[in-house]
Amino acid sequence: MELLERIFGIRSRHSTLSNELIGGVSTYMTLAYILIVQPIVLSAAGMEFGAVLTATALASALACFIMGFYANYPIALAPAMGHNFYFAFAVVLGMGIAWQEALAAVFTAGVLFVGLTLLGIRRTIMDALPLSLLNAIGVGIGLLIALVGLEWSGIIVDAQGTLVGLGDLSNGATLLSLFGLGGLSILAVRGTRGAILIAIALSALAGFASGLLEYRGLFSAPPSLSPTAFALDFSLFWSAEFWVIVAVFIFLDLFDTIGTFAAVAPEAGLTRSDGTPDISNKAMLADSSATVIGALLGTSTITSYVESASGIAEGARTGLAAVVTGVLLLLSPLLYPLIQSVAGGVQVSPALTLYPVAAPVLIFIGVVMMKRVRGIDWERMSEAIPAFLTITVMMLSLSITEGIAFGIISYSLLSLFERSTKVHILLHVLALILLGRYLFLV
């Protein structure tokens, strides 16, 4: 206990050993869904399911250890929801970039993110973007994720003439998705800790009992990392396309991280005398270095998780909680057969595979991220129009890049017609770059 006290300063943070242990387990329970969702998303881009699982668990564990031992924050890290969809659906499937090249872009973004942290440029970039756009980006990503969840559940399907329509609600996989969504919603309403993981377990049990899912076992040796580890391909390094992708990864990671710290730091008692979040440079470095590690091992951007709030709510105040979460993540690949069983798709037609266990989680994440819409000034058209374009274009195009581009360009343009709007010069520069990209494409 004295050794832990010297390393983490548990008593000085007004915590106890039990608080840290319970907090670490609680955080793991609320973020463990990523071990199922991440391999599903990245396997859509052609990556090997098992390798992604191992890479996700190992990279997240290492990131938690860095955050715990180096920064001494009770904040866990894992692949960011939204970033993984941008990686798989926008970059790989949408732009036709090989996943090895996409990993190289993630790695490059991580290295630059470390540099931005060391140079203190994060604050400058953050100050350049208006709060309404930051909130709109969060909402847009949430709705994009929710739309994918609705499609993976079979609730929303292709429809001739209207593009999308209501699916066959009598389909077994869709019914299982509705069961999972209903259960997750009830657990969330009741404030149950670990609601996402509990809902996944209930859906999986129902899937096994109904025969929709195949039970493949409980324990096994962890899947090999070799299909994804150190598979980075820098052949596009000198292309403009590569650097646009890198810029988006940096942009997303920058604000996800700041948003997470701003949300959980006050609850953890990590605030300055004026009440503002005390975000140390060590914590930022731990976060940015995690992306570099993740890319090398074979997974998309790793960032600080807002789900850490569950552990903090249990009393966690030091990095020991993050270390506990990291240990549990490290052991998770031993459950590969079970995870593969739960994450398995249900093929309902030659052209359609549904994921009834993961789909409700994606829909629920959309619900959680919608709360950022309150931070948009809808009464002021110079704020409302760019925010609306950001949200709708991002969701309907299934492209985070296009949503951000429409938002920044429209905000920059409309600010020229409203003198009271003060815009950082960097936003105008970004708008010109993004506008130039569209002109180049035309």
Q: Whole-angstrom Cα distance, residue 8 to residue 177? A: 42
What are the distances in angstroms from CA 15 to CA 35, 59, 194, 376?
29, 27, 22, 37
C-alpha span between 341 and 211 (Å, rounded)? 12
Spell out the per-residue pLDDT of the chain, length 442, in tens: 788 888 898 888 888 898 899 888 878 877 888 998 899 999 999 999 999 999 999 999 999 999 999 999 999 999 988 889 889 988 999 899 999 999 999 999 999 999 988 887 766 766 677 878 878 887 887 888 889 889 989 999 988 888 889 999 999 999 999 999 999 999 989 988 778 888 888 999 999 999 999 898 888 999 999 999 999 999 999 998 899 899 888 877 876 777 677 667 777 777 766 555 667 788 889 998 999 999 999 999 999 887 787 788 778 899 999 999 999 999 999 988 988 888 777 888 887 889 898 888 888 888 888 888 988 999 999 999 999 999 999 888 877 778 888 999 999 999 988 877 678 888 888 889 888 878 876 6
Sequence-distant (6+) residues with CB within 8 A of 227 are 47, 48, 50, 51, 298
Residue 424 amino acid letter: H
Six-digit token string for 106:
């993630």
CB atoms within 10 A of CB 174: 21
What would the 3-class secondary structure string for the chain be?
CHHHHHHHCCHHHCCCHHHHHHHHHHHHHHHCCHHHHHHHHHHCCCCCHHHHHHHHHHHHHHHHHHHHHHHCCCCCEEECCCHHHHHHHHHHHHHCCCHHHHHHHHHHHHHHHHHHHHHCCHHHHHHHCCHHHHHHHHHHHHHHHHHHHHHHHCCEEEECCCEEEECCCCCHHHHHHHHHHHHHHHHHHCCCCCHHHHHHHHHHHHHHHHCCCCCCCCCCCCCCCCCCCCCCCCCCCCCHHHHHHHHHHHHHHHHHHHHHHHHHCCCCCCECCCCCECCCHHHHHHHHHHHHHHHHHCCCCEEECCCHHHHHHCCCCCHHHHHHHHHHHHHHHHHHHHHHHHHCCEEEECCEEECCCCHHHHHHHHHHHHHHHHHCCCCCHHHHHHHHHHHHHHHHHCCHHHHHHHHHHHHHHHHCCCCCCCCCHHHHHHHHHHHHHHHHHC
- How far apart, in whole angstroms, are the C-alpha atoms of residue 310 and residue 362? 19
pTM of the model: 0.76
Q: What is the pLDDT of residue 275?
A: 56
The predicted pLDDT at position 57 comes to: 96
Residue 162: its pLDDT value, please? 86
Query: What's residue 262's pLDDT?
Result: 67
For residue 115, report the phi and psi dihedrals to the nearest 5 degrees: -60, -40
- Whole-angstrom distance between the N-terminal and C-terminal Cα of the chain? 64
Do the Cβ atoms of 434 and 425 come closer than 8 Å?
A: no
pLDDT value of residue 127: 65
- In the prediction, which pLDDT does 33 show? 82
pLDDT score at 128:
74
CA atoms within 13 A on the CB side of 405: 18
> Domains of the chain: which residue ranges?
2-125+159-358
**What's the pLDDT at 134?**
78
CA dist list (Å): 254 to 17, 115, 179? 32, 12, 36
**Tokens (6 digits) for 407:** 């938002």
* Spatial distance between the Cα atoms of 135 and 131, rounded to a whole number of angstroms: 6
Q: In angstroms, rounded to a whole number, what is the distance separating the alpha carbons of residues 289 and 107?
A: 10
